[in-house]
Amino acid sequence: MRVAPPRGGARGGPARGAGWYRGELHAHSWNSDGKTPVAEVVAAARAYGLDFLALTDHFTNAGWRDLVALGGGDLAVLRGLELTGHAGHANLHGLDRWVDLYPDGPALDERGRAVEVGPAGAGRWDINAVARAARERGGLFCVNHPFSGDLGWRYHEFDWDLADLLEVYHHLEGPHNALQLGLWDEQLRRGRRIVGVAGTDSHHPRDARHRLGQCFTYVHAPELSEAGIVAGLRSGRVYASLGPRLDYWAATDGGGRIEMGGAAPAGAPCACKSSCAICASRPSSSCSRTASSTRRSRSSRRSGTRRARSPSPTRRRRRATTGSNSTRRARRSRGCTGSRRRSCSSPTRSSSREGGVMELTKGLRRAVDRPARRAAARPRLCASG
């Protein structure tokens, strides 16, 4: 089934221009094993501030029609599929039609009929044939969660030159992500231009573990559209993040700048640079507060004066539980110290630290003494001689 490409811009208007866009490249609907309809997935993507969303249902493109109808405007949508084979999973992004996702069997067309593969029918429909078919349809082939146990990548015959993307961060994989980074680094060392991306693998857009908006793939695209995001992914100016906006580039000695995904001349000296868009646009409040407080404290020492400080949140909580200084002095004058503070007639309680230690100590003592008290209350049986 062929589905018309998504419209760009505000529901058919002009698409937003070149820039950094963040989104999700691994999400499912109830057309495969997801828990919600496509409309809810798209609504959640907008609610969490995503710029693009790839729908990658297992085997089927049944959700593409709804996806295209709901996309556009502030959300670019990518028509995708997830290959779910006996030896691994892979996402196919930016397709214009369904691709046979059964590399472990005979080749099939869109209607499920067997077709011949290769010249004069010589060849077989394997994982490499699927990757080539994705590229022929203008899409990208992404290897998913390669170290996910039984769902990991075990297609040993796969030609890694056919891989466009690699899921280097999977939100549900935990420590396996370190292995995926190692695999990516090995492929880069071998000279392959594979782009690292992130994926939530969301099966419910608002569920705690599967919720959208917990990890992102940032893409510098020529425009906010399916074609633009696919072009940005293919160019390699991409990074995975849990939220912060970053930028990396290489600065040459001649003042040139090589962006992510670019190539530096062999032997040319260059220095890697980076910037954080969050820090550049909005300085950290803690950093600015530390700098200003340091300047004030130095000026106070020079002038020989002591600056009055506003109470910290911890100090305010302690005052709320212990009362004022005069109240504490009055309690001490009445002999309300130590363990007697709990029985004092004053309505205020002890300090949070002392009270916590006292309560912990008393709780432990009660827990230790409880078996002894139970044994003492138990009636004793005496044997007659």
Q: Is 373 exposed, middle or buried (0-12, 13-18, 19+ CB in 10 A)?
A: exposed
State how far the Cα of 166 lies from the Cα of 88, in Å rounded to an integer.
13
Cα end-to-end distance, the chain, whole Å: 96
- Whether the predicted pLDDT of 177 surpasses 60: yes
- Whether the predicted pLDDT of 23 surpasses 70: yes
* Reduced DSSP (H G I as helix, E B as strand, rest coil) percent helix, strand, coil of the chain, to 5: 35, 20, 45
Query: Got the DSSP string for 302-359?
Result: HHT--PPPPPPHHHHHHHHHH--HHHHHHHHHTT--GGGGGG-SSS----HHHHHHHH
Q: How far is CA 231 from CA 12, 91, 117, 192, in A?
A: 20, 16, 28, 18
- Domains, the chain, with CATH or none: 19-243 (3.20.20.140)
DSSP 52: E
DSSP 97: B
216 neighbors 23 (Cβ within 8 angstroms): yes
Q: Residue 302: how many CB atoms within 10 A of its CB?
A: 8
**pLDDT (mean) for 127-149:** 93
Q: Where are the alpha helices (DSSP H) in 87-196?
A: 127-136, 176-189
- Write out the two tokens for 114: 């067997």
Q: What is the pLDDT of residue 258?
A: 87
Strand order in the sheet with 19-27: 195-199, 165-170, 140-143, 88-93, 76-85, 52-58, 19-27, 216-221, 238-241
**pLDDT (mean) for 14-30:** 90
**pLDDT (mean) for 133-148:** 94
Least confident segment among 8-22, 113-127, 346-360:
346-360
CA dihedral for 107, 108, 109, 115, sign (positive or negative)? positive
CA angle 163, 214, 7 (to 5 degrees): 65
Q: What is the pLDDT of residue 255?
A: 79
- Whether the predicted pLDDT of 45 surpasses 70: yes
Q: What is the pLDDT of residue 69?
A: 95
- Whether the predicted pLDDT of 77 surpasses 90: yes
Q: How far is CA 160 from CA 142, 169, 260, 301, in A?
A: 11, 18, 21, 65
- Whether the predicted pLDDT of 163 surpasses 70: yes
Q: Which residues pair with 19 in a beta bridge?
A: 221
Q: What is the pLDDT of residue 270?
A: 81
Q: What is the pLDDT of residue 118?
A: 54
State how far the Cα of 145 lies from the Cα of 177, in Å rounded to an integer.
8
Q: Residue 220: how many CB atoms within 10 A of its CB?
A: 21
pTM above 0.75, yes or no: no
Quickly tell me which residue has 């992914």 as its tokens. Answer: 233
State how far the Cα of 65 lies from the Cα of 225, in Å rounded to an integer.
16
Q: How far is CA 97 from CA 28, 110, 136, in A?
A: 18, 9, 11
Give residue 50's pLDDT band: very low, low, confident or very high (50, 70, 90): very high
Quickly tell me which residue has 């909580």 as its tokens. Answer: 317
**pLDDT (mean) for 296-310:** 45
- Whether the predicted pLDDT of 339 surpasses 60: no
State how far the Cα of 322 lies from the Cα of 311, in Å rounded to an integer.
14
